[in-house]
Every structure is written in structure tokens, then in C-alpha cells.
Amino acid sequence: MSMHRSGRSIGRRVIGGAIIGAAMAGGLAMAAAPAGAQPLPKVEPTVENAAPTLDNIKLAIDRFVIVNPDLAPAGDIAKNLFPKY
């Protein structure tokens, strides 16, 4: 058996092993999902759904203004851009 031929068969084994490994990983991922799994409910983007995030952003702006009092007008402008809820 020549060196060229054995190198080719090793390469094929590596590629074959990679394909089999990927297939096994995909199979395990599918098996991990419950059979009767329902799709996640859709959440409509509304101001009420975003309220906690908006509150956190407003809090960050307030803290920024405390640290940088010279930029208080910019903080007020930024907070006025948010919807009222």
C-alpha cells in the first residue's frame, strides 16, 4: 500500500466521521424536544410589554445625569422621546 493511497483513506474516514457526528448531534437535538411541544406564543410588541425595559433605560439615563450634571438637558430630551404609559 502506498503513502498516497493511505492518506486518501484517512481523509475519507475523517470526513465520514465528521458527517456521522453531525448527523448524530442533529438526531440528539431532535430527540431532546418533547413530542407534544407547543410552539411559543407570539407576544405582540406593545408599550405595556416593553415597560420594564423602558423603565430600565430611563433609570440608566437618570444615573447618567447624576454622574454628568452638565448633560441634564440631553437626558431630559432622551426621556421625553419615550412613550407615556
Both 85 and 46 in a single domain? yes
Residue among 56, 85, 53, 60 nearest 75 (CA)? 60
Both 31 and 63 in a single domain? no
What global pTM score does this model have?
Answer: 0.43
Both 48 and 66 in a single domain? yes
Both 31 and 55 in a single domain? no
Both 4 and 25 in a single domain? yes
Both 66 and 83 in a single domain? yes
Q: What are the tens digits of pLDDT across the range 56-65?
A: 888 999 999 9
Cell of 82: 419615550
- Residues 26 and 32: beta-carbon distance below 8 Å: no
Per-residue model confidence (pLDDT) at position 41 = 78
User: Per-residue confidence at 81, pLDDT binned at 50, 70, 90?
Assistant: confident
Per-residue model confidence (pLDDT) at position 33 = 59
Where in the sequence is the domain holding 16, given as residue range(s)?
A: 1-38
Q: How many domains is the chain partitioned into structurally?
A: 2
Among the ranges 13-22, 41-50, 62-71, which has the highest mean pLDDT value? 62-71
